[in-house]
C-alpha cells in the first residue's frame, strides 16, 4: 500500500492543476445540487420491530386520514388570579382562539377545551389541542406564525397562554462557538507549523471536504429522507478528521524535507507513510459509523452512513489535494526544525547535543516508571467513569427545554393543572378484528387498565368506523421520563398478553412516551452486538496494520476506559448538573437514549485514529531495528507533538458544537470533546506507552502462521526505503 500511495502523492504533486480543478469542480457540483434541491423536512422517525411503531402503522390502516404521526400543539390557558377558565369572558376568549386556530390550511382539527373536558378540576387551567397534517419540521412558517399570533391575541385579553408540542420544532442552529472552535484549530496549527501557509492547508482542505460532504447531504436530503441533524453530525466529524488527517501528512512532509529530500519526493513519501496511517484510521472511523446500522433505527443508520461518507471524502482529500497544494506552496512550507538557510542534503550544524523535545522526555519517563503511570491513568479514568453507574436514558421532551421557552412553560402549566403524567399520555390500540365480540374486548381492556397502579385516567374506547379497532388514552400518575411510567407501559403490555389469550384481541401501547421507552430498550439491546461487531472488525484491521495481537487488544481496552469516563462526564454535567451553567445546560434530565451507542461508535473510530498515528511510528522504529523501549521513545519524539495538536484541534471543533440550540447536538459535542481528551492525553499518551514498555518485545508478537496468512500492507513504508537514492535527483535549495 505504501508504494501505491507514494505514487499517488507524487502524481498529485506533479499534476496539481488537474487535482485542484477536480476537487473544485466536485465542490461546485455539490453546491449547485444543494442550492437547487427541494427543502427537506425532518427525517421520519420510525423504529421497525417495536410495539409502538406497529401500533402507529395499525392506526394508519384502521384510522385513515387521522395523521397519527402529524405535528401537534397544545395551547395552554391559565386564568388570572382569582378567576376561572369557566368564567364567561375567559371562555369567550378561548373559543375565539380555537376558531382562529381552525382556519389554518395544514390543521386537521382543534379540540374545544369545554367540549373535550380539558379544564382542570380547580378551573384555572385549560388547553386546546391542535393536530396538523404534517410533521413539525415540515410545517409552513405561516402555520407557526398563526399559532403564535393566536396565543398572543389571547394574552392581550388577560390570559396566560403558552404553547407546547412539536409544532414549534425548528431546525437547530449551532451557534457562534463553532467558529471559535475553528479559530482555535487555526491557532494550534500555526503554533505547530510556525507558518501561516502550512497551517492554512489543513484548514482549507477540511473546509473543502466538509463543503462537499454537507452539500451532498443537503442535495439528497429530500430524496433520502435525511434530517437536519444528519448534516450537523457530518460537519462535526468531517471538520475534526479532515484537519487531523491533513495535519499528519503535512507534518510528515516537513519531516521528509528536513531529511534532505526534494519536494516531490517528500510529498510522495509523506503520503506513502502517513497516508497509509490515514487510510487505516479512516477505515476504523467508517466501520464504527456504518456499524450503527446494526441498531436498525433508520434515522441513526442514515446519520452514521452520511458521516462515514464525509470521513471517506476527508481521507481522499488528504491523499490527493494536500500534496497538490504542497506543490503550489513550494518553499513557503519549511522543513521541520529549519531555522535558517541551508541545503537539504547537508546535516544541520549544532553547537551541542540536540535538546530532547517534550514528547521524548515524557516517553522516557513513562518507560522508566510504567507501573506508576499505568496505575494513575487507570485509576483516574475509573474515577471519572463512576457517574456512569447512575446513567438514566430517555429521549428529550418539552420538560427538558429551558425554562425560558414557551414549550417548557406550557409543560409546567399542564403538570400544575392536570398532574405530571398528563404530559406523557399513553395511547392503547386494541385490534379486535379477530375477536368474536370486539365491544366486549374494548371494555375488558379499559377495565383491566383502570386496576393498574400509577393510572390516573382511562378514557372510554374510541372505535373506528368498522368497529374492529379502538383507541384508549391512559394518563399516568408520574411524569413521562420516570421509571414508574415505564413500569406502567410494561404492565399494560403484560395485561394485553392475557387479554389476547382470552378474546383474541391484540393490545398495543404507543404514543411518544411509549416510543421513547421502546427506543431506549432497543438501543440497550443493540449495544453489546454493536460493540462486538465494530471492535471485532477494527481489531482485525489493526492486526493487519501492526502485525501484533496484543497491540490491538490493548487499543480496544483503552478505548473502553476512555468511553466509560466520557459517559461519566456526560452524566455528571447533563444529568447531575455539574458545571451545567458553564456548558449552557438550562435543564438537566436523563441522557438521550442514543448517546451511549453513538458515543461508542464515534469515539472508537477517533480513538483508533490516535492509536494508528502514534503506534505506527513506534512500529516503524521497531521494524528498523530499535529495541522495544527505545521504539516507544522514538515514536513519541516524532509523533507526540502532532498527535497533541490533532487532539486539541479535534476537541476545539467538537466543543464548538456545545453552543447548539439542539440538546442532542450539544450533548454529542461535549461528549466527544471530553472523550477525545481522555483518550488522547490519558490513554494514548500515558497508558499506551506504559503498557508497551511493560510488554517489551512481546507487544509485537504475532504467530508465524498468522504472519504468513496476513497481507503485508507496509504501513511503515519499508518498500520506500529499498532505493535510498530515489530522491537525490530532486534535492533543491530551500530558502526560509
User: 229-262, pLDDT tens digit by residue?
Assistant: 677 778 878 887 888 888 889 988 988 888 888 8
Instruction: Provide the CA 253 distance to its chain's centre, in angstroms.
Output: 32
Cβ burial, residue 597 (10 Å; 0-12/13-18/19+): buried
pLDDT of residue 161: 92
Weakest-pLDDT range from 28-37, 58-67, 112-121: 58-67
pLDDT of residue 351: 46
Weakest-pLDDT range from 288-292, 400-404, 511-515: 400-404
Weakest-pLDDT range from 397-401, 433-437, 679-683: 397-401
Instruction: Provide the CA 108 distance to its chain's centre, in angstroms.
Output: 35
Handedness of CA 482, 486, 487, 488 (dihedral sign): positive
Query: How far is 114 from 485, CA to CA, in rounded Å?
Result: 28
pLDDT of residue 735: 36
C-alpha cell at 694: 511493560
pLDDT of residue 88: 92
Task: Give every CB contact of residue 538 below 8 A, 6+ residues apart in sequence.
Answer: 284, 287, 288, 552, 556, 604, 608
Residue 281's pLDDT band, with cuts at 50, 70 and 90, is confident
Model pTM?
A: 0.76
pLDDT of residue 457: 86
Residue 39's pLDDT band, with cuts at 50, 70 and 90, is low
Q: Quick check: 605 and 289 in contact, CB under 8 A?
A: yes
| Secondary structure element (H or E) that encloses residue 565, with its range | helix 550-570
Residue 91 — φ and ψ, nearest 5°? -65, -40
Query: How far is 282 from 292, CA to CA, in rounded Å?
Result: 16
Weakest-pLDDT range from 133-137, 438-442, 492-496, 579-583: 133-137
Instruction: Provide the CA 728 distance to its chain's centre, in angstroms.
Output: 47
pLDDT, tens digit (0-9, with 9 covering 90-100), for 621-637? 887 788 888 989 988 88
Weakest-pLDDT range from 65-79, 122-136, 401-415, 476-490: 65-79
Q: Helix or strand or coil: residue 509?
A: strand
Q: What is the DSSP letter of 725?
A: T
Considering the chain, what is the average pLDDT of its residues?
Answer: 83
Of 326, 334, 357, nearest to 246 by C-alpha is 326
CA distances 160 to 59, 92, 99, 524, 555, Å, are 35, 15, 18, 41, 57
Beta strands in 257-399 (DSSP E): 342-343, 393-394
DSSP string, 236-282: HHHHHHHHHHHHHHHHHHHHHHHTT--HHHHHHHHHHHHHHHHHHHH
Pairwise pLDDT comparison (256 vs 726), residue with the higher score: 256
Q: Quick check: 363 and 637 in contact, CB under 8 A?
A: yes
pLDDT of residue 733: 37
pLDDT, tens digit (0-9, with 9 covering 90-100), for 569-591? 999 998 888 887 777 777 777 78
Pairing of strands 125-132, 506-510: unpaired
Report the percent of the chain where pLDDT is more than 70.
Answer: 89
Query: How far is 408 from 168, CA to CA, in rounded Å?
Result: 12
Q: Quick check: 209 and 242 in contact, CB under 8 A?
A: yes
Task: Give every CB contact of residue 575 below 8 A, 6+ residues apart in sequence.
Answer: 387, 390, 391, 392, 588, 589, 590, 591
Radius of gyration of the CA atoms of the chain, in A? 30
Locus of grid cell 479535534 = 650
Amino acid at each position: 500500500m505504501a508504494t501505491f500511495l507514494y505514487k499517488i502523492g507524487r502524481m498529485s504533486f506533479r499534476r496539481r492543476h488537474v487535482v485542484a480543478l477536480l476537487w473544485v469542480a466536485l465542490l461546485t457540483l455539490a453546491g449547485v445540487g444543494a442550492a437547487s434541491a427541494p427543502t427537506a423536512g425532518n427525517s421520519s422517525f420510525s423504529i421497525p420491530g417495536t410495539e409502538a411503531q406497529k401500533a402507529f402503522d395499525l392506526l394508519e390502516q384502521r384510522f385513515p386520514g387521522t395523521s397519527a404521526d402529524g405535528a401537534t400543539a397544545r395551547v395552554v390557558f391559565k386564568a388570572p388570579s382569582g378567576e376561572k377558565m369557566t368564567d364567561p369572558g375567559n371562555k369567550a376568549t378561548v373559543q375565539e382562539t380555537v376558531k382562529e386556530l381552525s382556519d389554518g390550511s395544514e390543521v386537521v382539527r382543534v379540540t374545544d377545551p369545554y367540549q373535550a373536558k380539558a379544564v382542570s378540576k380547580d378551573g384555572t387551567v385549560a388547553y386546546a389541542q391542535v393536530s396538523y397534517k404534517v410533521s413539525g419540521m415540515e410545517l409552513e412558517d405561516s402555520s407557526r406564525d398563526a399559532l403564535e399570533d393566536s396565543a398572543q391575541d389571547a394574552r392581550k385579553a388577560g390570559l396566560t397562554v403558552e404553547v407546547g408540542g412539536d409544532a414549534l420544532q425548528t431546525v437547530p442552529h449551532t451557534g457562534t462557538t463553532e467558529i471559535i472552535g475553528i479559530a482555535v484549530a487555526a491557532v494550534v496549527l500555526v503554533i505547530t507549523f510556525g507558518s501561516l501557509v502550512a497551517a492554512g492547508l489543513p484548514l482549507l482542505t477540511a473546509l473543502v471536504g466538509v463543503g462537499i460532504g454537507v452539500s451532498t447531504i443537503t442535495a439528497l436530503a429530500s430524496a433520502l429522507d435525511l434530517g437536519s441533524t444528519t448534516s450537523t453530525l457530518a460537519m462535526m466529524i468531517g471538520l475534526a478528521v479532515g484537519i487531523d488527517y491533513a495535519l499528519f501528512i503535512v507534518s510528515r512532509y516537513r519531516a521528509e524535507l528536513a531529511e534532505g529530500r526534494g519536494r516531490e519526493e517528500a510529498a510522495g513519501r509523506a503520503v506513502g507513510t502517513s497516508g497509509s496511517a490515514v487510510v487505516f484510521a479512516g477505515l476504523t472511523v467508517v466501520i464504527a459509523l456504518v456499524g450503527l446500522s446494526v441498531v436498525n433505527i433508520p434515522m441513526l443508520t442514515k446519520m452514521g452512513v452520511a458521516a462515514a461518507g464525509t470521513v471517506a471524502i476527508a481521507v481522499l482529500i488528504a491523499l490527493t489535494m494536500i500534496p497538490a497544494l504542497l506543490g503550489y506552496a513550494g518553499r513557503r512550507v519549511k522543513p521541520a526544525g529549519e531555522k535558517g538557510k541551508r541545503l537539504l542534503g547537508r546535516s544541520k550544524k549544532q553547537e551541542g547535543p540536540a535538546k530532547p523535545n517534550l514528547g521524548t522526555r515524557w516517553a522516557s519517563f513513562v518507560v522508566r516508571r510504567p507501573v506508576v503511570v499505568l496505575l494513575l491513568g487507570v485509576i483516574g479514568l475509573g474515577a471519572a467513569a463512576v457517574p456512569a453507574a447512575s446513567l438514566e436514558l430517555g429521549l428529550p421532551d418539552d420538560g427538558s427545554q429551558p425554562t425560558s421557552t414557551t414549550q417548557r412553560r406550557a409543560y409546567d402549566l399542564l403538570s400544575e393543572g392536570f398532574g405530571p403524567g398528563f404530559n406523557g399520555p399513553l395511547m392503547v390500540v386494541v385490534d379486535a378484528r379477530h375477536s368474536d365480540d370486539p365491544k366486549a374486548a374494548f371494555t375488558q381492556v379499559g377495565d383491566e387498565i383502570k386496576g393498574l397502579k400509577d393510572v390516573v385516567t382511562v378514557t372510554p374506547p374510541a372505535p373506528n368506523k368498522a368497529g374492529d379497532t379502538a383507541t384508549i388514552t391512559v394518563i399516568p400518575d408520574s411524569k413521562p421520563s420516570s421509571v414508574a411510567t415505564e413500569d406502567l407501559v410494561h404492565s399494560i403490555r403484560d395485561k394485553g398478553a392475557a387479554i389476547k389469550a382470552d378474546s383474541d384481541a391484540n393490545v398495543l401501547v404507543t404514543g411518544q412516551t411509549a416510543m421513547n421507552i421502546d427506543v431506549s430498550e432497543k438501543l440497550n439491546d443493540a449495544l453489546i452486538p454493536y460493540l462486538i461487531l465494530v471492535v471485532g472488525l477494527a481489531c482485525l484491521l489493526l492486526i493487519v496494520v501492526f502485525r501484533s495481537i496484543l497491540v490491538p487488544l490493548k487499543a480496544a481496552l483503552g478505548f473502553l476506559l476512555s468511553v466509560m469516563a466520557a459517559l461519566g462526564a456526560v452524566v455528571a454535567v447533563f444529568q447531575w448538573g455539574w458545571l451545567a451553567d458553564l456548558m449552557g445546560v438550562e435543564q438537566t434530565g436523563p441522557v438521550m437514549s442514543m448517546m451511549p451507542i453513538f458515543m461508542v461508535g464515534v469515539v472508537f473510530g477517533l480513538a483508533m485514529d490516535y492509536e494508528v498515528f502514534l503506534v505506527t511510528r513506534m512500529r516503524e522504529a521497531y521494524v528498523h531495528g530499535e529495541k522495544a523501549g527505545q521504539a516507544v521513545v522514538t515514536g513519541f519524539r516524532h509523533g507526540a507533538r502532532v498527535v497533541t495538536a490533532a487532539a486539541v484541534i479535534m476537541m476545539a471543533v467538537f466543543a464548538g458544537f456545545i453552543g447548539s440550540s439542539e440538546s442532542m447536538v450539544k450533548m454529542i459535542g461535549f461528549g466527544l470533546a471530553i472523550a477525545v481528551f481522555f483518550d488522547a492525553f490519558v490513554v494514548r499518551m500515558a497508558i499506551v506507552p506504559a503498557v508497551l514498555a511493560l510488554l517489551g518485545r512481546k507487544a509485537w508478537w504475532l504467530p508465524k502462521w498468522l504472519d504468513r496468512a496476513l497481507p503485508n500492507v507496509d504501513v511503515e513504508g519499508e518498500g520506500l526505503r529499498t532505493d535510498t537514492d530515489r530522491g537525490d535527483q530532486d534535492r533543491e535549495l530551500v530558502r526560509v
